């Protein structure tokens, strides 16, 4: 009880400060707003965490007006941001409780207390648990899963009530964790590996009949796989129901998916693409629109850029399909575009034609790759460098017959554009142009390319001649798009999005620097904002608690070494190991924690995307558990040394916490104190704010 | 739970080991153990005297078969299908263009660079030597061989390696303790495995590589058998350990793929030593003996292979004693040691106004280079790189420092032309550079000075960017570099012994260049720029407090200055150091290997991806596909490939079921059955995995023939699965199964034989051979 009180004080202290948007609240606030308005969006994270914030905000009477555009924007009175932050805060408090309970399972209560306090005062997690972010709820679910799984593993009687309850809660909390962030899967993996090990051990127990073993097996499958998956899918179900309208993300899904959104407009459009139609052309793989805008390439031909752009409803995505002749009104009488036809693409808003130059594109400087640009004007005469052959390759699954293979049909035909001048094929890929190209995807033309990135289809299609004849034409039609289709496509895009998050971020960091607190992340600073007269300088800088991070790293290292030696000794087939109970408990504990730490930490090295310090939290949680478990073992073996160790780590942790209180909570500080607190030159806290 | 280590149970008691041996079939057993126990010997002698004689007689006949006749038949079969029509394509096929050319380089003694270690190519060179070939043909792809060239002998030489794999596979199967039916199945699969069959018809490294891999595995199984009878410290044991070491040394010296085989041997050895360690601490093995085990392993499996690898490179350097196309990518000293190299000809001291090229001494030892392309980031000034080829853009002029420039002192005569103030061009090009001088490096072809900017470099962000900027008249402090001479290499010739230590000499002086303003040193990082920098080496300005940091060391390679006198004698360069050249060459091999990254946007019909190999999705056209060409299509034997892939999965299920039974204690796993599971099943499976998995995570471009060694191990796993299956079905059925398997292996080869023997008619005639649509016949 005292622990909870303390946790509440520490984690929720002045949670209303600062009354402005901090760091990634920009994103999660915006998502809450999207839910409010029902506008479809794409994000790399599963929906549960974001939905929770939305529900809380609605519960506390938000009107959905406030836009979380940029860091430092002041909340208006209507935004229940304190309530939203409380979600994080309460999750943080609960985490402390779960930590205590977890450690209490096999350690003395003083150590459980100590471990919980370490987690409670860990600077970076305190910072995180005060803001509208996903990490603290994730850690909370993770810690509950760990607690319940450990409890489950220690339940003496199989198939008893407590046994089932713990197993089920483990599954539920795993489901919650992975529905908040996919990194919850690492904890799932942790549970999975330990479960396999458990099952293997039970298999060797001849007192357990084969039938019972199968029961063991299936109860685990149900609780640890089926239950979490159901929760996960349920979250997605709610997500799709909550977002019935087109929004920021609807450009990046396929037309078929879009057709399920209520206000999709292109379902009234003609399905046949005729000469003179104005269309949007979408890249099949990347799901973005062929785009051009009034900026030129700084390299190559220096002509107008052609890119892919993710947002629909932009005039710059509109292309008019013309024949190879100079434009005249007769074009509209020409009828449908067929497979093998030669066309020109007229970019309406800039009045230029799509064009391929035999110069190297900006990023892929291979001999066989050509740059795609826009050039010329309406009076352009015949020129094979502006002409493209339409080659229809296949059709989308919702097309009802083979017509789309013969004629170009919107949303149905999948085609390539082959440049007549150089015989190369127009394509695009994930590679993004630098700042001068607004970070849009590069479009290029490659001789003998691989197929998947050369495929396009037409989404919206309009033609004046169909408007004149009113409803007398075939419209775009779709077959139903099921929930499973949606989930599948959404995940493909999530992974693509995650992979493409490689833009340099000022505060991104390498996984190898995390355990050493080499750098923090500046969340907020009001220096550059328009100051209210009574507002003091305040900075929120998420920085790890040096003592706890280092203690964690050191104890992990020692534990790994000890465990390797122990395992080596234990596996000796010529000696039956004799070990004390404490020994056994200690090594089982650190085995579990080391495994958890490894599973949560090392995948980060394989990630190509940009990472931040808070991606270390799940691993850090296991590191803190190890501190507790190690200290407990030391107390058992050498009482005074153990307690001395406990006090030393606690004192160090407390000192680091107290010292950095101002930048955790965004409180007052002085310039001098701040400058003195930069213990490492790489800590780029913006101290000038305090001047 | 305590015995997750499954060999454990039976090791615990030495007794059970003995009793088990008595129980086994006496005809199989070794007499040693029996001799220890007199009673039992007597009993056996009395009860089965006649019986033993009979089996003994049988045994000698069967030994004759297994030792001589069977391998001979199989070898003959293998030789026939591999040598048949070997001469038919009288032009350069597939990678003969590479490996034939490298062989020629050895015959001409001209230095070259390649990503593979030298042993295989040395053997190709040897085959050319035996064929009386002088190295003059340059192996252009698809070009006809000259009339007088005995390319057939070269191909046969290479093919022999492929042929010898067959008897080795048979012997390996026998050693593994399989019955004859399984041995034949494995051998036939190896013979009619069409990837290695087709590849062994040409001058390529693949059959040499496969041979050494097969040989190493054969030796490893010998070692395994000797280990189970605890004879590793006998003469036999050390002999076979040494042979294993020799084989892995050879396989690694042929291609780096050999490291996977080394890993297999390594894992096996580690397992062995761990078990022996447990035996030692449980007082079943004296420490002395354990130590001896370690020593023999270190010598036979580490020292010996490393020596062979080094020796291959030593021979490589010795044979390639003339300057050749690979010179531009190696250190100045190595080039200077080559006969016919022209870098020795310049004046012996560098002066202001000299034109020089600078070579880095870091891990990527290329020439300092700049070209008229700018960095896309940072200040977007002109790129500075390192480049592995010699061209105009490597040339820099040594210019006076800024003070001199302001007072009108210039090294470059032409500067005056534009502004018309001819008086400024005081030329003092006789002034030699001294240690500690501030100089500016003027990039001759673009007319810019090289300088460092205090912004992060393009790739290695922790260092500063180096670029070329300005014009000839620019005077920026950033352009000044301080010359810091580190060491002077001594020439073996007395004539050049007294060169001043404070002056800069081409070839022999190693120096650093410190930026005067920033204090950082001109350095290479070993990284390559992205495509905008043409994948050339990165150059940065690096704070390096450790003056032996070779990445900041440079030397002058070529030196041109008309004003300076040439030495009266030809310069005798210092000798290159073998170790240094060895390390640098290996690093360069690694870098170029990693640089072979495919472009995902470009369709490459030759390369294939790892997942296509076990399912045989794509084949490879080995030569041009015209109607008149003799066409070879590289594809695996469908039955062998598909069935082996299936067997790998079946094997995992088998392991799982054994594990379950073991854990439920419904099966007793004795030492013997464990050891045979290890050698017959687990070792080949791990071998397959080790030869396959790295290609999954490797970024470089991969080809179908990379699967050949893995497939060899998959075939052994297949043999294991078939063997275990045949033991559970009635004997008669098993004969039928084996018969069908033989027919399937040979039949699928026979059906597709023309792909490997060469197609003479137009490719349309062979459309029916397309078993899968994805094959591009």
**pLDDT digit string, tens, across residues A407-433:** 899 889 999 999 998 889 999 988 888
Residues from chain B that touch A577, judged by Cβ atoms under 8 A, are 2
Do the Cβ atoms of B7 and A573 come within 8 Å? yes
User: Residue A242: what pLDDT?
Assistant: 92
Q: What is the pLDDT of residue B235?
A: 93
pLDDT at B23 over 70: no
A152 vs A572, residue with greater confidence: A152
SS3 content of chain A, % helix, strand, coil (to 5): 50, 15, 35
Check CB contact of A484 with chain B, cutoff 8 Å.
no
| B452 and B543 share one domain | yes
DSSP B680-741: IIIHHHHHHHHHHHHHHH--S---GGGGHHHHHHHHHHHHHHHHHHHHHS-HHHHHHHHHHH
Do B365 and B287 reside in the same domain of the chain?
Answer: no
**Nearest chain B alpha carbon to A570:** B2
At a CB cut-off of 8 Å and minimum separation 6, what does B606 contact? B620, B621, B703
Q: Are residues B452 and B398 in the same domain?
A: yes
- The mean pLDDT of A578-604, rounded to a whole number, is 91
CB contacts of A571 in chain B (<8 Å) are 4-5, 8, 278
Using CB atoms, which residue from B282, B534, B665 is nearest to A572? B282
Check whether A610 has a pLDDT greater than 60. Answer: yes
Residue B8 has pLDDT above 60, yes or no: no
Architecture of domain A267-476: Trefoil (2.80)
Of residues B178 and B604, more confidently modeled: B178
Residue B481 lies in a domain: yes
Please give the Cα distance from B292 to B305 (Å, whole number): 19
Q: What is the mean pLDDT of chain B?
A: 85
Which pLDDT value is given to residue A504?
A: 67
Q: What is the pLDDT of residues A633-681, one digit of tens each?
A: 999 989 999 999 999 999 999 999 998 888 888 888 888 888 888 888 8
In whole angstroms, how far apart are CA A512 and each of A509, A519, A603, B507?
Answer: 8, 11, 12, 41
Cα B70 to chain center, whole Å?
34
- Residue B6: pLDDT band by 50, 70, 90 thresholds? very low
**Helix or strand or coil: residue A332?**
helix
Question: Does residue B643 share a domain with residue B574?
Answer: no
Least Cα separation, residue A82 to chain B (angstroms)? 40
Higher pLDDT pick, A651 / B8: A651
- Taking residue A367's Cβ as centre, other Cβ atoms within 10 Å add up to 7
Q: What is the pLDDT of residue B427?
A: 52
Please tell me the predicted confidence (pLDDT) of residue B204.
Answer: 92
User: Would strands A304-309 and A289-296 be described as parallel, antiparallel, or unpaired?
Assistant: antiparallel
ipTM reported for the complex, 2 dp: 0.85
The size of the A-B interface in CB pairs under 8 A is 78
Mean pLDDT of A349-375: 87
Residues of B with CB under 8 A from a CB of A: 1-5, 7-9, 11-12, 274-275, 278-279, 281-282, 284, 376-377, 531-532, 534, 599-603, 660, 663-665
* pLDDT the model gives residue A470: 61
Answer yes or no: do A448 and B603 touch at CB < 8 A.
yes
State chain A's mean pLDDT as an integer: 88
**Domain carrying residue B203:** 73-315+613-769
Q: What is the pLDDT of residues B413-461, one digit of tens each?
A: 554 444 444 444 445 557 888 898 899 999 988 889 999 988 888 888 8
Alpha carbon of residue A670 to chain centroid: 37
pLDDT of residue B617: 87
* B356 and B412 in a common domain: yes
A575 min Cα distance to partner chain B (Å) = 7
Our CA dihedral for B628, B633, B637, B643, rounded to 10 degrees, sits at: -140
Q: Tell me, what's the pLDDT at A535?
A: 63
Whether B407 shows a pLDDT value over 70: the answer reads: yes
CA B386, B390, B393, B396 torsion: positive or negative? positive
Indicate if B675 and B748 belong to the same structural domain. Answer: yes
Q: Which of B3, B7, B532 has the CB atom closest to A365's CB atom?
A: B532
Neighbours of A464 (CB within 10 A): 10
Q: Which of B5, B534, B603 is nearest residue A573 as measured by Cβ atoms? A: B5
Nearest CA to B439 out of B561, B350, B312 is that of B350
Which of the given ranges, A566-575, B4-13, B52-61, B234-243, has the highest pLDDT on average? B234-243
> Among partner residues A203, A446, A576, which is closest to B601 by beta-carbon distance?
A446
pLDDT at B263: 96
List, for residues B532-570, the tens digit of each pLDDT value. Answer: 787 788 999 988 878 888 889 999 998 988 888 888 888
pLDDT > 90 in chain A, percent: 44
Closest to B709 (Cα-Cα) out of B219, B195, B229, B265: B195
pLDDT at B31 over 50: no
**pLDDT recorded at residue A527:** 65
In a domain, B346, yes or no: yes
Report, as an integer, the average pLDDT of B353-371.
Answer: 89
Judged by average pLDDT, the poorest of A353-357, A604-608, B736-740 is A604-608
Alpha helices by DSSP H, A155-290: 161-180, 184-203, 210-220, 227-242, 255-258
Q: Looking at the complex, report in whole angstroms how far the Cα of residue A209 sits from the nearest Cα belonging to chain B.
A: 10
Q: How many CB atoms lie within 10 A of CB B106?
A: 23
> Looking at residues A67-73, what average pLDDT do you find?
81
In a domain, B165, yes or no: yes
Boundary (domain end) residue, out of B594, B629, B664:
B594
Do residues B275 and B11 lie in contact, with contact meaning Cβ atoms separated by under 8 Å? yes
The verdict on a CB contact (< 8 Å) between A571 and B4 is yes
A125/A102 Cα distance (integer angstroms): 18
pLDDT confidence of residue A432? 83
Q: Which residues of chain A have a CB within 8 Å of the CB of B600?
A: 429, 450, 453
**If you average pLDDT over residues A238-243, what whole number do you get?**
93
Q: Considering the domain boundaries, does residue B539 fall inside one?
A: yes
Task: Using pLDDT thresholds of 50, 70 and 90, give the confidence band for residue B33.
Answer: very low
pLDDT over threshold 50, residue B17? no
Torsion of CA B689, B692, B697, B701, to 10 degrees: 170
Chain A CA closest to residue B659: A200
Q: Read off the DSSP letter of residue A537.
A: P
- Report which listed range, A35-44, B264-273, B349-358, B607-616, is most confident: B264-273
Question: Where residue A247 falls among pLDDT bands split at 50, 70, 90?
Answer: confident
Find the DSSP H helices in A13-47. 25-37
Which DSSP category does A325 fall into?
S
Residue B478 has pLDDT above 90, yes or no: no
Question: A247-256, B52-61, B104-113: lowest mean pLDDT where?
Answer: B52-61
- A-chain residue closest to B697, CA distance: A606
CATH 2.80.10.50 residue ranges of chain A are: 267-476
**B122 domain-assigned:** yes
SS3 B490: coil
pLDDT of the residue at B38: 55
Residues in chain A within 8 Å Cβ distance of B377: 434
Q: Considering only the beta carbons, identify the residue of A444, A450, A575 that sits closest to B603.
A: A450
For residues A301-309, average pLDDT: 90
Round to whole Å and give the CA distance between B477 and B452: 10
Q: Do B531 and A451 touch (CB under 8 A)?
A: no
Cα–Cα distance measured from residue B376 to residue A436, given in angstroms and rounded to the nearest whole number: 11
| Position B530 in a domain | yes
Q: Give me the pLDDT at residue B26, please.
A: 40
Where a domain ends, among B594, B626, B655?
B594
Q: Which residues of B touch A206 (CB under 8 A)?
A: 664-665
Q: B519 by DSSP, 3-state: which?
A: coil
- Measured between its terminal Cα atoms, the distance across chain B in Å is 55
Return the closest-CA partner of residue B442 out of B314, B514, B560, B354: B354
Is the Cβ of A206 closer than 8 Å to some Cβ of chain B? yes
- CA–CA gap between residue B105 and residue B112 (Å, rounded): 7
pLDDT higher than 80, residue A399 = yes
Share of chain A above pLDDT 70, in %: 97
Number of domains in chain B: 2
* Mean pLDDT computed over B626-654: 92
Domain stop point among B594, B624, B652: B594
- Selecting from A204, A429, A574 the residue whose C-beta is nearest the C-beta of B11 gives A574
Rounded distance between C-alpha atoms, residue A189 and residue A194, angstroms: 8
Looking at beta carbons, which residues of chain B come within 8 Å of A444? 601
A572 interfaces chain B, CB cutoff of 8 Å: yes
- The alpha carbon torsion through A515, A518, A524, A528 (nearest 10 deg) reads -170
Under an 8 A CB cutoff, do B601 and A434 touch?
Answer: no
Name which residue leads in pLDDT, B627 or A307: A307
Task: Verify whether the Cβ–Cβ distance B376 to A434 is below 8 Å.
Answer: yes
Query: Is A16's pLDDT higher than 90?
Result: no
Q: Which residue does chain A place closest to B7, by CA atoms? A: A573
Residue of B nearest to A443 (CA): B601
Cβ atoms of B212 and B247 within 8 Å: the answer is yes
Out of B4, B278, B599, name the one closest to residue A366 (CB). Answer: B599
Higher pLDDT, B776 or A40: A40
Of the listed ranges A262-271, B49-58, B127-136, B548-557, the least confidently predicted one is B49-58
The stretch B751-767 carries a mean pLDDT of 86
Q: Is B211 part of a structural domain of the chain?
A: yes
The answer, yes or no, to whether residue B487 has pLDDT greater than 60, is: yes
Q: Which residues contact B308 (CB under 8 A, 6 or more apart)?
A: B246, B249, B250, B252, B253
Same domain, residue pair B417 and B468: yes
B263 and B350 in a single domain? The answer is: no
Task: Check pLDDT > 60 for residue B684.
Answer: yes
Alpha-carbon torsion (B179, B181, B182, B187), positive or negative = positive
What's the pLDDT at A315? 87
pLDDT-derived band at B766, boundaries 50, 70, 90: confident
Percent of chain B with pLDDT over 90: 44
Chain B residue whose CA is closest to A198: B1
CB contact under 8 A, B2 and A434: no
CA–CA min distance B657, chain A (Å): 12
Query: Is the residue at B332 inside a domain?
Result: no
A-chain residue closest to B534, CA distance: A365
Of residues B241 and A3, more confidently modeled: B241
Cα nearest neighbour of A575 on chain B:
B282
Helix (H) / strand (E) containing A525: strand A521-525
> What is the nearest CA distance from A658 to chain B, expressed in angstroms?
33
Cβ contact, residue pair B600, A450, below 8 Å: yes
Question: Are residue B588 and residue B617 in the same domain, yes or no?
Answer: no
Please answer yes or no on whether B278 and A444 come within 8 Å at the CB atom: no
pLDDT the model gives residue B32: 43
**Six-digit token string for B41:** 């010997």
8 Å CB contact of A427 and B8: no
Mean pLDDT over A202-231 rounds to 93
pTM over the 0.80 mark = yes
Q: Which residues of A touch B12 (CB under 8 A)?
A: 573-574
Extract the runs of DSSP E, i.e. beta strands, from B297-424. Answer: 355-360, 367-374, 382-387, 396-399
Q: In this complex, do B602 and A363 lie within 8 Å of one another by their Cβ atoms?
A: no
| Listed residue (B684, B680, B669) closest to B4, CA to CA | B669
Handedness of CA A659, A665, A668, A670 (dihedral sign): positive
Give pLDDT, residue B4. Answer: 40
Q: Quote the pLDDT of residue B413.
A: 59
């Amino acid at each position: 009880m005292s622990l909870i009180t303390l946790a509440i004080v520490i984690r929720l202290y002045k949670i209303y400060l600062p009354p402005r948007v901090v760091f990634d609240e920009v994103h999660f606030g915006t998502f809450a707003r999207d839910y409010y308005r029902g506008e479809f969006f794409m994000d790399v994270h599963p929906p549960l965490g974001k939905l929770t914030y939305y529900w809380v905000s609605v519960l506390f009477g938000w009107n959905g007006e406030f836009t979380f555009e940029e860091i430092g924007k002041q909340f208006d009175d209507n935004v229940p941001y304190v309530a939203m932050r409380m979600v994080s805060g309460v999750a943080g408090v609960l985490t402390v409780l779960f930590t205590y309970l977890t450690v209490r399972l096999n350690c003395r209560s003083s150590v459980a207390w100590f471990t919980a306090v370490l987690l409670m005062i860990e600077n970076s997690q305190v910072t995180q648990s005060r803001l509208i972010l996903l990490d603290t709820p994730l850690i909370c679910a993770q810690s509950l899963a760990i607690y319940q799984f450990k409890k489950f593993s220690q339940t003496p009687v199989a198939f008893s009530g407590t046994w089932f309850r713990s197993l089920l809660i483990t599954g539920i909390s795993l489901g919650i964790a992975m529905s908040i962030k996919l990194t919850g899967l690492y904890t799932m993996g942790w549970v999975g590996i330990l479960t396999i090990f458990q099952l293997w051990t039970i298999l060797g127990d001849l007192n357990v009949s084969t039938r019972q073993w199968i029961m063991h097996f299936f109860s685990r499958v149900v609780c640890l796989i089926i239950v979490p998956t159901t929760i996960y899918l349920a979250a997605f179900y709610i997500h799709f129901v909550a977002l019935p309208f087109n929004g920021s993300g609807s450009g990046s899904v396929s037309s078929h998916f879009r057709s399920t959104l209520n206000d999709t407009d292109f379902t009234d459009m003609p399905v046949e693409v005729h000469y003179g139609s104005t269309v949007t052309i979408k890249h099949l793989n990347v799901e973005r629109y062929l785009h051009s805008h009034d900026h030129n390439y700084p390299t190559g031909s220096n002509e107008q850029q052609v890119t892919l752009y993710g947002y629909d409803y932009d005039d710059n995505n509109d292309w008019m399909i013309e024949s190879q002749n100079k434009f005249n009104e007769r074009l509209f009488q020409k009828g449908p575009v067929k497979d093998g036809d030669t066309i020109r693409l007229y970019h309406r808003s800039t009045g230029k034609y799509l064009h391929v130059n035999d110069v190297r594109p900006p990023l892929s400087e291979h001999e066989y790759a050509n740059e795609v640009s826009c050039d010329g004007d309406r009076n352009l005469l015949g020129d094979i460098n502006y002409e493209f052959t339409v080659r229809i390759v296949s059709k989308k699954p919702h097309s009802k017959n083979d017509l789309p293979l013969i004629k170009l049909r919107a949303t149905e035909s999948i085609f390539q554009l082959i440049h007549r001048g150089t015989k190369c094929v127009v394509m695009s890929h994930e590679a993004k142009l630098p700042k001068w190209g607004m970070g849009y995807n590069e479009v290029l033309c490659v001789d003998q390319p691989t197929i998947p990135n050369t495929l396009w289809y037409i989404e919206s299609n309009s033609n004046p001649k169909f408007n004149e004849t009113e409803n007398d034409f075939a419209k775009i039609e779709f077959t139903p798009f099921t929930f499973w289709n949606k989930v599948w496509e959404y995940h493909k895009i999530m992974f693509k999005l995650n992979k493409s998050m490689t833009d340099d971020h000022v505060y991104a960091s390498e996984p190898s620097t995390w355990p050493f607190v080499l750098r923090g992340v500046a969340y907020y600073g009001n220096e550059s904002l328009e100051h209210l007269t009574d507002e003091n300088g305040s900075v929120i800088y998420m920085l790890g608690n040096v003592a706890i991070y280092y203690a964690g790293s050191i104890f992990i290292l020692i534990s790994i070494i000890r465990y390797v030696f122990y395992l080596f000794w234990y596996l000796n087939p010529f000696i039956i190991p004799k070990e004390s109970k404490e020994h056994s408990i200690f090594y089982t504990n650190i085995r579990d924690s080391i495994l958890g730490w490894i599973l949560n930490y090392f995948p980060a090295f394989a990630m190509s995307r940009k990472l931040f310090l808070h991606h270390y939290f799940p691993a850090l949680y296991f590191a803190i558990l190890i501190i507790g478990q190690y200290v407990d073992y030391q107390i058992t073996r050498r009482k005074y040394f153990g307690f001395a160790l406990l006090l030393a780590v606690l004192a160090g942790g407390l000192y680091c916490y107290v010292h950095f209180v101002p930048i955790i909570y965004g409180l007052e500080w002085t310039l001098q104190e701040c400058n003195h607190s930069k213990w490492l030159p790489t800590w780029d806290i913006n101290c000038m704010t305090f001047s | 739970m305590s015995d997750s280590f499954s060999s454990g149970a039976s090791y615990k008691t030495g007794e059970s080991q003995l009793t088990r041996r008595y129980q086994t079939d006496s005809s199989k057993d070794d007499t040693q153990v029996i001799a220890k126990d007199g009673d039992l010997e007597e009993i056996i002698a009395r009860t089965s005297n006649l019986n033993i004689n009979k089996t003994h007689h049988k045994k000698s006949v069967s030994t004759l078969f297994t030792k001589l006749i069977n391998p001979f038949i199989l070898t003959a079969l293998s030789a026939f299908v591999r040598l048949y029509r070997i001469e038919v394509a009288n032009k350069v096929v597939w990678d003969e263009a590479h490996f034939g050319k490298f062989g020629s380089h050895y015959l001409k003694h001209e230095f070259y660079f390649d990503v593979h270690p030298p042993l295989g190519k040395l053997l190709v060179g040897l085959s050319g030597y035996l064929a009386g070939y002088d190295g003059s043909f340059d192996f252009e792809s698809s070009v006809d061989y000259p009339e007088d060239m005995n390319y057939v002998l070269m191909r046969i030489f290479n093919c022999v390696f492929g042929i010898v794999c067959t008897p080795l596979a048979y012997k390996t199967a026998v050693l593994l303790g399989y019955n004859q039916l399984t041995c034949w199945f494995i051998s036939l699969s190896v013979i009619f495995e069409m990837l290695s069959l087709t590849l062994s018809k040409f001058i390529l490294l693949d059959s040499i590589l496969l041979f050494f891999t097969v040989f190493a595995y054969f030796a490893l199984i010998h070692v395994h058998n000797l280990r189970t009878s605890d004879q590793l410290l006998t003469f036999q044991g050390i002999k076979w350990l040494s042979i294993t070491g020799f084989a892995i040394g050879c396989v690694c010296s042929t291609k780096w793929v050999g490291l996977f085989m080394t890993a297999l041997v390594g894992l096996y050895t580690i397992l062995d030593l761990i078990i022996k360690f447990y035996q030692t601490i449980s007082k079943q093995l004296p420490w002395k003996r354990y130590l001896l085990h370690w020593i023999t392993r270190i010598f036979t499996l580490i020292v010996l292979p490393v020596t062979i690898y080094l020796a291959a490179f030593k021979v490589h350097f010795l044979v390639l004693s003339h300057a050749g196309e690979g010179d531009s990518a190696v250190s100045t000293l190595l080039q200077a040691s080559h006969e016919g190299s022209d870098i020795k000809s310049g004046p012996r001291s560098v002066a202001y106004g000299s034109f020089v090229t600078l070579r880095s001494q870091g891990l990527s030892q290329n020439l300092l280079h700049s070209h008229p392309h700018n960095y896309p980031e940072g200040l977007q000034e002109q790129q500075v790189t390192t480049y592995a080829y010699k061209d105009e853009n490597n040339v820099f002029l040594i210019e006076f420092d800024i003070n001199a420039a302001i007072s009108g002192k210039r090294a470059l005569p032409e500067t005056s032309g534009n502004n018309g103030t001819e008086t400024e061009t005081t030329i003092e090009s006789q002034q030699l550079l001294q240690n500690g001088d501030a100089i500016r490096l003027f990039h001759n072809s673009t007319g810019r000075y090289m300088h460092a900017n205090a912004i992060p470099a393009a790739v290695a962000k922790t260092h500063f960017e180096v670029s070329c900027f300005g014009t000839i008249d620019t005077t920026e402090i950033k352009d000044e570099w301080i010359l810091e001479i580190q060491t002077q290499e001594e020439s073996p010739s007395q004539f050049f012994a007294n060169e001043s230590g404070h002056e800069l000499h081409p070839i022999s002086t190693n120096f650093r260049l410190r930026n005067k303003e920033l204090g950082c040193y001109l350095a290479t990082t070993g990284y390559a720029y992205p495509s905008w920098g043409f994948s050339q080496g990165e150059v940065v300005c690096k704070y390096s407090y450790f003056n032996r940091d070779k990445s900041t060391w440079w030397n002058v390679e070529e030196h041109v200055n008309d004003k300076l006198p040439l030495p009266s004698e030809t310069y005798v360069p210092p000798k290159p150091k073998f170790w240094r050249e060895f390390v640098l060459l290996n690093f360069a091999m690694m870098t170029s290997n990693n640089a072979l990254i495919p472009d995902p946007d470009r369709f490459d019909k030759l390369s294939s991806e790892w997942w296509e190999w076990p399912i045989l999705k794509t084949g490879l056209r080995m030569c041009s596909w015209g109607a008149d060409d003799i066409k070879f299509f590289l594809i695996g034997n469908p039955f062998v490939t598909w069935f082996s892939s299936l067997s790998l999965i079946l094997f995992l299920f088998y392991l799982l079921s054994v594990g379950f039974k073991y854990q439920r204690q419904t099966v007793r796993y004795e030492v013997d059955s464990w050891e045979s599971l290890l050698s017959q099943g687990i070792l080949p499976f791990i071998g397959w995995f080790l030869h396959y998995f790295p290609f999954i995570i490797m970024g470089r471009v991969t080809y179908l023939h990379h699967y050949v060694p893995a497939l060899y191990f998959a075939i052994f796993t297949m043999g294991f699965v078939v063997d275990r299956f045949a033991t559970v079905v009635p004997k008669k059925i098993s004969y039928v199964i084996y018969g069908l398997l033989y027919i399937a292996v040979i039949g699928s080869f026979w059906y597709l034989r023309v792909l490997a023997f060469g197609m003479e008619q137009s490719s349309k005639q062979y459309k029916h051979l397309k078993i899968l649509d994805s094959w591009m016949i």
